Chains A and B, each alone.
Chain A
Amino acid sequence: MKPKPQSLALSSVISGLTLVFMTIYAELSETFKKFLTNLTTHHWISKSILTILIFIIVYYLSSIFFKNSSPKSKYIYLIIIFAIICYILIFVFFLYEWLNK
């Protein structure tokens, strides 16, 4: 069975945004960081595993709803735009945190 391009795009966007959320919120909330640390042994490992799980879950759930279709450039550009947004958000957040220490 071929992977559905819409589901790949959606799961990459959702997992990317979740990664950004976990990264930023863990810095702002010590409780959340401790929760992530307690899940595995390190908050970074928990973020990595949760991002993988969210990617897989969103992919399979969305595959139920999306019809089979050929890949369109708009799906790929969506992935590109959100990857750049995630990159910028993470970098700017840590830069902002450092500047306002």
Chain B
Amino acid sequence: MINFLVGLHAGLGELGSILFLWVAIELFNPDSKRINRSSKIAFIGFILLLISWLIAGIYYTTDYGANIKPVIKESSNAWAHSVIMESKEHIFIILPFLSLIVFLLLKNYQKELLKDNKYRKSLVFLSILIFLIGLSMAFLGYLISSAYRAALEVNVI
């Protein structure tokens, strides 16, 4: 059975990550209006990643562990759990912290962004890193669901 929590986790997580690409673009050539907007976008991104984290926890500790993990581990693609899922479930925890830091700095140090070019660039890099980690989470998620589908197909055939 398809669990809607997976879609919600992936959707909110990706949306949250993409918002940090938006933040980075706003900071390429900032003015006070753009910085103010990027701070609001970063806040929404942080909230989405936080909700995605909570949903991932509910899904992982209920449905995944009981129904998905045993099927993948019994298949020829057991690496999808042992390497990919084990890495993904722990690496994801870093994302809400990074997004919170970007939001707090954007909210509280807006003038510094206009004055200090090095600081502005470093925040652009941090926002892009959040986007890239989020993107990699989606790719790892794709590998896990592909391994599960492949395992189910083998069982059916």
Q: Of residues 75 to 101 in A, which have CB atoms within 8 Å of B's CB atoms?
A: 76-77, 79-80, 83-84, 86-87, 90-91, 94-95, 97-98, 101
Kindly provide the distance from the CB of B128 to the nearest chain A CB, expressed in whole angstroms: 9
Number of interface residues of B (CB under 8 A): 32
In the complex, B8 has a CB within 8 A of chain A: no
* Residue of B89, B98, B104, B122 with most chain A CB atoms under a 10 A cut-off: B122
- Given A12-B98, A71-B109, A86-B91, A44 and B57 contact (CB-CB distance below 8 Å): yes
- Given A5-B109, A79-B101, A87-B94, A98 and B122 contact (CB-CB distance below 8 Å): no
Number of interface residues of A (CB under 8 A): 36
Q: In whole angstroms, how far apart are the Cα atoms of A79 and B104 in the complex?
A: 14
Which residues of chain B are near A94, meaning CB under 8 Å? 82-83, 86-87
Which residues of chain B are near A34, meaning CB under 8 Å? none
A73→B119 contact, CB < 8 A: yes
Q: For the complex, would chain B's binding face be called helix, strand, loop or mixed by DSSP majority?
A: helix
Which residues of chain A are near B94, meaning CB under 8 Å? 16, 19, 83, 86-87
In the complex, B129 has a CB within 8 A of chain A: yes
Which residues of chain A are near B57, meaning CB under 8 Å? 44-45, 48
In the complex, B63 has a CB within 8 A of chain A: no
Kindly provide the distance from the CB of B99 to the nearest chain A CB, expressed in whole angstroms: 11
User: Which A positions have Cβ atoms within 8 angstroms of B?
Assistant: 2-3, 5, 8, 12, 15-16, 19, 23, 41-42, 44-45, 47-48, 51, 55, 70-73, 76-77, 79-80, 83-84, 86-87, 90-91, 94-95, 97-98, 101
